[in-house]
């Protein structure tokens, strides 16, 4: 089998996303072969990633054996070193890598989780990310991650608002629910230490990404000094090289690679091996989407995030069809070959 075409597009999502999730949101990648099989993947960075894939990676992939996934990953990574290593180029590589894994599953008539060594997938607890805990409970979720907390610029009033929001979520979710808080790189070390102390009575499972992904020393201090909750991070880290430094510096209690951003499934497997050697848990960012869900289910990683927000795409990614939904708070990939999803009409 040989690759005959590669194409990437940034779909016209409706309703339009705001901010960087407009032109820099998810790119769809399709890899065609002379065997009549097509692999489908999703990466990040929107139109910028589509340009890299179509104008650079495509020429390196045409005529190649698509089953040499690790070799192709290494070659594409090396070819983009001058402008890559992290960010847009690796997000583009992620979409290509996932399309290759989807193609391997279809060629072998196996779901991706089985390619990863699991005969039967382990159901994962789906957790909803957003702010409307009551609505998520009604939908069946039993684990929750709050977003958009106040930060240092909001002063003492912001701290009290954060505490009130977490308290209300704990009262709604009950004492047994997993409850997390995502600061999305908007805090500093002192503020995070202060918030961890104030939020201790509400037993957060973790505080997520309070600092810039580049602040290794800050993360190391938080991980060392905070004992009332865990620090989770890695959503905006890239490849096993970046995570290797993150792990060596003991920057988090929980690692959160995003399979569609960090370099695809190939990079995620390498990251998982490093984490296992260091005794650190891996809970992928957006692990409830099919691209991360197969890894979660194959390796028994336990939790699978579904980003719901407040009304944003409640039925899932509009570019795809066939993705599994959570039921009674659990989510499991389907048995369809590859990742088990198809493109919605008109996407490409």
Q: Catalytic residues, which ones?
A: 285
| Phi, psi angles (nearest 5°) of residue 116 | -90, 5
Chain centroid offset of residue 265 CA: 11
CB contact at 8 A, 166 and 180? no
Beta bridge partners of 28: 9, 42
CB contact at 8 A, 170 and 205? no
CB contact at 8 A, 76 and 37? no
CB contact at 8 A, 252 and 244? no
Q: How far apart, in whole angstroms, are the C-alpha atoms of residue 136 and residue 308?
A: 9
The angle that helices 216-225 and 189-199 make with each other, rounded to 10 degrees, is: 30
Q: How far apart, in whole angstroms, are the C-alpha atoms of residue 180 and residue 196?
A: 12
Q: How far apart, in whole angstroms, are the C-alpha atoms of residue 158 and residue 194?
A: 12
Strand residue runs (E) in the chain: 3-9, 27-33, 38-43, 124-130, 143-146, 178-182, 206-208, 230-233, 254-255, 303-307, 320-321, 330-331, 342-343
Per-residue CA distances from 94 to 122, 210, 271, 347 (Å): 24, 25, 14, 19
């Amino acid at each position: 089998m040989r690759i005959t075409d590669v194409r990437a597009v940034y779909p016209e999502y409706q309703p339009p996303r705001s901010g960087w999730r407009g032109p820099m949101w998810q790119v769809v990648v399709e890899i065609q072969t002379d065997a009549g099989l097509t692999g489908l993947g999703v990466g990040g960075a929107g139109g910028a990633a589509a340009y890299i894939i179509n104008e650079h990676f495509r020429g390196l992939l045409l005529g190649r054996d698509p089953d040499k996934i690790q070799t192709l990953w290494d070659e594409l990574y090396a070819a983009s070193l001058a402008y890559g290593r992290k960010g847009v180029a690796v997000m583009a590589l992620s979409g290509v890598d996932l399309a290759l894994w989807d193609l391997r599953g279809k060629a072998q008539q196996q779901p991706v989780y089985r390619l990863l060594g699991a005969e039967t997938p382990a159901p994962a607890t789906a957790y909803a990310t957003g702010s409307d805990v009551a609505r998520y409970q009604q939908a069946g979720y039993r684990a929750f991650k709050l977003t958009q907390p106040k930060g240092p610029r909001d002063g003492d009033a912001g701290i009290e608002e954060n505490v009130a929001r977490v308290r209300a979520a704990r009262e709604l979710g009950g004492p047994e629910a997993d409850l997390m808080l995502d600061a999305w790189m908007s805090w500093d070390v002192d503020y995070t230490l202060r918030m961890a102390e104030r939020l201790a009575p509400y037993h957060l499972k973790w505080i997520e990404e309070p600092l810039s992904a580049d602040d290794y020393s800050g993360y190391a201090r938080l991980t060392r000094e905070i004992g009332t909750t865990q620090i989770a991070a890695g959503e905006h880290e890239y490849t096993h090289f970046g995570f290797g430094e993150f792990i060596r510096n003991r920057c988090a209690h929980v690692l959160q690679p995003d399979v569609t951003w960090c370099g695809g499934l190939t990079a995620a497997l390498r990251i998982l091996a490093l984490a296992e050697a260091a005794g650190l848990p891996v809970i992928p960012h957006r692990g409830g989407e099919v691209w991360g869900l197969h890894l979660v289910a194959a390796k028994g990683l336990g939790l699978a995030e579904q980003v719901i927000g407040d009304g944003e795409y409640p039925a899932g990614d509009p570019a795809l069809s066939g993705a599994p939904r959570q039921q009674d708070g659990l989510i499991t990939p389907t048995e369809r070959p590859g990742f088990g999803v198809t493109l919605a009409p008109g996407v490409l």
